[in-house]
């Protein structure tokens, strides 16, 4: 036995062979079930030349406590928003947001909790990887996702869609960007216990099992809004899990010209499209970098949901999806399975 998974009333176990698995559950078919621990990949597209990092800050050693900047009023302007935020109209609703904190869970590679534009909003974190304890991001992906959603913009960096968020971070992916279902389930359990309102999942797999689906159903019944990247497999009918589950908001990626990103998965499960090509956001070491992938389209929807919860208060996931659909604009050059209800423009749903 490697770890206990209370959320599914199960355990992660390692067996010498398939025969041993069958032997372990034999005689208890109604009570015991064995399924493989699935492997997941992050939905970013690394096959591009990186723009040079900018806005460098000295990085502090991991042994130091998390440093919180002194609070002072947030001052927003259009120039502090990346092109993706401008495309969905985030700067136009900043003045309408209230100082109601929205609790957001992110399952990813961790977060740079010293980043000057993120540290203030980080309220807790956990690492579910075996033998690890720190939830510091040693890959960059999770920090980039968090910056799109809720960077404060207090430094010379960029402002996120909703700077009034409380981040609860799960580091379930290692420094090579790989993750397993068991670590994700442990993280989802931890987030549910902290009563997060939204969970961002910028990762995918082509396989699934009943254990994973049961977890998704449980979170949905709890009223947690689940947002996931559609995947980077391109082509038609290629939406991956967890975005493929009906309880999850699946997001495809577009570029600056409202064209479908060449890498973006599509299919009837896509609910919305969002910017996902050459997206600037926070990076490890207090920096900012530009990255692409449906990984970074998903947090545009997560930030949009955070704005809705900030503005309207608590809403069930089905109602949130209805409101976003009412404020989505169909892109003529994209088909139904490429964009779902379309691109959500915040000024159309927050006025």
What's the pLDDT tens digit per position in 71-102? 434 445 555 789 999 999 999 999 999 989 99
| 295 a catalytic residue | yes
Residue 39, domain extent: 35-348
- For 119: left if phi > 0, alpha if psi spans -120 to 50, otherwise beta; the answer is alpha
Question: Do both 12 and 41 map to the same domain?
Answer: no
Question: Do both 70 and 162 map to the same domain?
Answer: yes
Task: Classify burial at 30, counting beta carbons within 10 Å of its beta carbon; exposed 0-12, middle 13-18, buried 19 or more.
Answer: exposed
E strand map for the chain:
3-5, 10-12, 39-42, 102-108, 122-127, 165-171, 178-180, 198-201, 203-204, 225-229, 248-254, 272-275, 279-283, 287-291, 328-329, 343-344
Residues 32-47 pLDDT 10s: 888 899 999 999 887 5
Number of domains in the chain: 2
Indicate which residue of 108, 112, 137, 166 is catalytic.
Answer: 108
- pTM of this prediction exceeds 0.85: yes
pLDDT recorded at residue 59: 37
Indicate which residue of 141, 189, 264, 271 is catalytic.
Answer: 141
| 108 a catalytic residue | yes
Question: Do both 23 and 62 map to the same domain?
Answer: no
Indicate which residue of 151, 204, 292, 295 is catalytic.
Answer: 295
Question: Do both 56 and 16 map to the same domain?
Answer: no
Question: Do both 14 and 127 map to the same domain?
Answer: no
Q: Which of 14-23, 100-109, 132-141, 304-313 has the lowest mean pLDDT?
A: 14-23
| 141 a catalytic residue | yes
């Amino acid at each position: 036995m490697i770890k206990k998974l209370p959320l599914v009333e199960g355990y992660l176990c390692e067996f010498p062979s398939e025969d041993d698995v069958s032997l372990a559950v034999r005689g208890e078919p109604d009570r015991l079930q064995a399924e493989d621990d699935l492997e997941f990949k992050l939905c970013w597209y690394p096959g591009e030349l990186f723009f040079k990092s900018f806005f460098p800050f000295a990085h502090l050693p991991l042994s130091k406590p998390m440093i919180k900047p002194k609070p002072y009023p947030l001052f927003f302007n259009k120039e502090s928003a990346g092109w993706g935020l401008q495309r969905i109209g985030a700067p136009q609703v900043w003045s309408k947001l209230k100082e109601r904190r929205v609790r957001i869970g992110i399952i990813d590679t961790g977060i740079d909790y010293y980043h000057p534009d993120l540290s203030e909003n980080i309220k807790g974190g956990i690492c579910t990887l075996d033998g690890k304890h720190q939830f510091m991001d040693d890959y960059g992906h999770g920090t980039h996702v968090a910056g799109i959603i809720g960077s404060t913009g207090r430094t010379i960096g960029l402002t996120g869609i909703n700077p009034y968020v409380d981040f609860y971070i799960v580091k379930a992916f290692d420094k090579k960007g790989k993750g397993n279902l068991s670590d994700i389930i442990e993280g989802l359990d931890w987030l549910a216990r902290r009563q997060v309102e939204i969970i961002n999942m910028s990762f995918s797999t082509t396989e699934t099992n009943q254990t994973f689906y049961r977890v998704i159903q449980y979170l949905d019944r709890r009223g947690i809004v689940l947002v996931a990247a559609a995947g980077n497999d391109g082509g038609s009918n290629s939406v991956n899990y967890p975005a493929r589950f009906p309880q999850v908001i699946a997001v495809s990626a577009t570029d600056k010209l409202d064209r479908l990103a060449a890498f973006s998965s599509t299919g009837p499960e896509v609910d919305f499209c969002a910017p996902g090509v050459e997206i600037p956001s926070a990076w490890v070491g207090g920096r900012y970098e530009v990255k692409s992938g449906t990984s970074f389209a998903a947090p545009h929807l997560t930030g949009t949901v955070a704005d809705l919860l900030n503005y309207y208060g608590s809403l069930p996931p089905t109602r949130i999806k209805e409101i976003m659909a009412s404020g989505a604009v169909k892109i003529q050059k994209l088909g139904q399975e490429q964009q779902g209800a379309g691109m959500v423009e915040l000024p159309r749903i927050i006025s």
